[in-house]
Structure 1
Amino acid sequence: MNFLFIFLLSLILTGVLRRYALHKNVMDLPNARSSHSVPTPRGGGLAVVISFSLALAALCFYSQVPLLLGSGLLGAGILVALIGFLDDHGHVNARWRLLVHGVSAIAVVWVSNGLPPLELFGKVIDFGLIGWVLATIAVIWLLNLYNFMDGIDGIAGFEALSACLCVAFLAIEVNAQQWLVDLHFYMAAAVAGFLLWNHPPARIFMGDAGSGFIGFILACFALLSSWQNADLLWCWLIMLGVFIVDATYTLIVRLYRKKPFYQAHRSHAYQHSAQIFGKHWKVSYMVLLINLFWLLPWSWLVVKYAVDGAVALTLAYIPLIYVAHYYGAGRDKS
C-alpha cells in the first residue's frame, strides 16, 4: 500500500471527522484543566486509527506481516481505540478503561513473546517471566502517558511523526525486517495527515481514541523492534524521552504531594511552558527540535557505534529531567 495514499486518506478523514464533530457537537470545551481557550472539535485521531489499521490489515492480507502478530496488534489496537472513542462521546469509568488497556497490552505482549534479553550497563540480562510483566506495564503506561501528553496543539502529532521516522531509518540501518520498517512509515504517514489539521492553531483535537491508539502502537513498535535488534528498543525509549520523562516525573511529584493521580490536571512541564510562552506552537516545535537534535543523535550512537543503550538513555534523560523540574512538572500553578 502506498504511503501517500495513507497520508491522503488520513488527511481527508480528519476533515470528515471535523464536520461530524461540529454537527454532533462533539467539542472540547475550555475549562480550568485545559490549555486551550476556544471550543474545538475532538476525535480527529480516529483518522489515524482507520488509516493505519487499513495499512496493517493490508500487510496481513498479503502475508507480509506474520498473521498471529499482525492480527493481535490490529485487534488489540482497535480495542484501545474503541474504548477511547466511547470515552470521547461520554465518560467511561476508569476501571473499564484500565481493564481494556490491560487486556490489550497482555495480548500484544503474548503475541510478541515478551521481552528479549537486554544489555544493561554492560551486563546481559534475561528477564524471563518478569520481562512479560514489565513489558505489559510499560505498554499500559505508554498508552496512558500519551493521552496525558496530548494537551496542546500539535505536540502528540510531532512526537509520533518524528519518532516513527527517526526509528524507521535506524531500523533500516540495522537491517530490520521490511514489514516493521513499513509499519513505522505508515504510522508516520497517518499522523502527518492528521497533523495538518491539528497543527497550531488546531482545528480539531486528537481525542482519547487517537492518542490512546497511537501510544499503544508506539509501545508495540518498541516491543517488536526489540526482537529484531535490542538496540532499537533503546532507540524507542530515547526518542520518546520528552513524553516519558515529563509524564513520569509529573506522576511521581503528584504522588509525593499526595495529589490524586487519576484526577485531570494541568501540571505537566509542557503545559506550564505553554503558559509561559503563550503559544502552543513554540512548545510543540521545541519538542520536535529536541527529538531531532538531542535524542536522535543519542539513538544513532547506540545503533551505529554500539554505545550501551542504558548509558545513552541515562545521559539523554538527565537534561530532560532537569527541564521537567525547572518548569514545575507535577506542581499546580494558578
Structure 2
Amino acid sequence: MGWQIFLIIFAASSLMTWVLRRYALARSIIDIPNARSSHSVPTPRGGGVAIVFSFLAALPILAANESLSLHAMWSMLGAGAVVAVLGFLDDHGHIAARWRLLGHFIASVWALYWLGGMPVITMFNVEIDLAWLGHVLAVLYLVWMLNLYNFMDGIDGIASVEAICVCVGACLLYWLGGFESLIMAPLLLALAVAGFLYWNFPPARIFMGDAGSGFLGIVLALLSLQAAWASPKLLWVWFILLGVFIVDATVTLIRRLLRGDKVYEAHRSHAYQFASRQFGRHLPVTLAVMAINLLWLLPLAACVVLLDIDGALALIVAYVPLVMLAVRFHAGELENV
C-alpha cells in the first residue's frame, strides 16, 4: 500500500474538521461553558465525525489490500458506525442514557461476533480460557472503553493525544516484535486523529464530541482484542499503553460509586480535570499525558514484547504510579476540593 493513503487520510480528516467547524458555527452547535465544564470559551463541537469518516472509509481499502482481515473490518465498521451515529445524535440533541447504553451493547456484541469472541489470555505465564465468561467480560470491556473515552475527553487535545500515542506506540512495538501485519489499522487511525488534532490542540478551535470520543474508545478496544488474537501478550501491551485513561476513569468511577454519587450525571472530578484547574491551562496536562505515554508506559509495554516480561506483572508496575498520581490529583473527590 502506497504512502499516498497516509497523506490522504490526514488531509481528509483535517479538511473535514474545518468543514464541520463551519457547519457547527452556522448551526450554533456550540459547547457553552457551565459549572460542569473544563473550558471557559464557547467552542463548536462535533469535529470527531472527521475521524470517524476518514478512518471508516479506509477500512475497506485495508481489507482489499489484505492489510486487515474482513472479520476485523466488519467488526470495526459496524460497531464504530453505530457508536458514532449515537454520539452524533446525542451531540445534536439528547438521547436517554438507557437507549445509548443499549446501542453500545448491541455494537459491542456485533464487534465481538466478527472478531470471534474473547481469545485465550495469559496471566503470570498461565494460559486462561474463560470460555463464555470471557465473551461477557469482553463485551463489558468494549462498553466501558467507549464510555471511558467519552469521560476522558474533557480538555483540549487530551483524547486526541492519547489516541495518537497509543496507536503509534503499538505500531512501533508491532514492527519491533514481528507483528507487521497488525500495523496498518492503528497507523491510519493515528493519522485520522492527527488531522483532527490540528484543530483541537490547545487552545481548541473545535471539540471532538460524543461521536468522536465514543468511536475512538470502541475502536481502540477492538484493536486491542484483534492484537490479542495474534498473540495473548499484546492484550497486556494495549492495557499498558491505555493506562492513563483507564486508571483515571476507573479510580474516579470507583470513588464516586463508594460515595453514592449518581455516576451517570455530568461532573468534572477526574484527575486530569483537577490538574487542569490547578495549572490554570489545558496544555500542561495534555503534554503531561503525552510524556507519561512515551517515557513510562511505552518502555514498559516494550518490555512485554521484546523481553517477554509477564504482561500482568508489567501492568501492575505501570499502573501503581498512575493510581498514586490519580489520587494525588483528587480523582473522584468532590469538586470543591
Name the TM-score, length of structure 1 as normaliser.
0.98
- Is structure 2 residue 207 aligned with structure 1 residue 205? yes
Rounded to whole Å, the distance in 1 between the matches of 2:96 and 2:64 is: 36
Give me the identity figure in percent.
Answer: 51
Is residue 3 of structure 1 aligned with residue 9 of structure 2? Answer: no
Confirm or deny that 1:82 pairs with 2:105. no
Q: What's 1:30 paired with?
A: 33
Give, in angstroms, the shift of residue 99 of structure 1. 0.7
Tell me the distance in 2 between the aligned counterparts of 1:164 and 1:263: 30
Partner residue, 1:286: 288
Q: Which residue of 1 aligns with 2:315?
A: 313
Partner-residue secondary structure (3-state), 2:183: helix
Deviations 1:129-182 (A, max 9, x none): 11111111001000000000000000000000010000011112232252x310
Match of 1:235 in 2: 237
CA contact (8 A) 1:168 1:181 kept: yes
- Alignment partners' CA distance in 2, 1:53 and 1:135: 22
- Within 2, Cα distance between the matches of 1:299 and 1:66? 25
In the alignment, structure 1 residue 70 sits paired with structure 2 residue 68: no
Contact 1:76/1:107 (<8 A) preserved: yes
Instruction: Return the match for 1:17 from 20, 42, 56.
Output: 20
**Unpaired runs of at least 5, structure 1:** none
Question: 1:69, 1:187 → 2: CA distance?
Answer: 14
Q: Helix, strand or coil for the counterpart of 1:124?
A: strand
Structure 1 match to 2:226: 224
Return the letter of the residue paired with 2:37: S
The one-letter code matched in structure 2 to 1:74 is L
The residue number in structure 1 matching 2:135 is 132
Instruction: Please name the residue that 1:257 is paired with.
Output: 259
Hey, what's the Cα distance between the residues in 2 that align with 1:282 and 1:24?
32
What is the Cα-based RMSD across aligned positions, in Å? 1.1
Query: Which of 194, 197, 205 does residue 195 from structure 1 map onto?
Result: 197
| Matching of residues 46-125 of structure 1 within 5 Å | 46-125=49-128
Report the Cα distance in structure 2 between the residues aligned to 1:239 and 1:177, rounded to whole angstroms.
Answer: 18
AA at the equivalent of 1:120 = M
Following the alignment from structure 1 to structure 2, what is the Cα–Cα distance between the partners of residues 176 and 8?
27
Task: Render the CA deviation track for 1:289-312: whole Å, top value 9, x for unaligned.
Answer: 000000001000000000000000
Please list every run of 5 or more consecutive structure 2 residues that lacks an aligned counterpart in the other structure: none
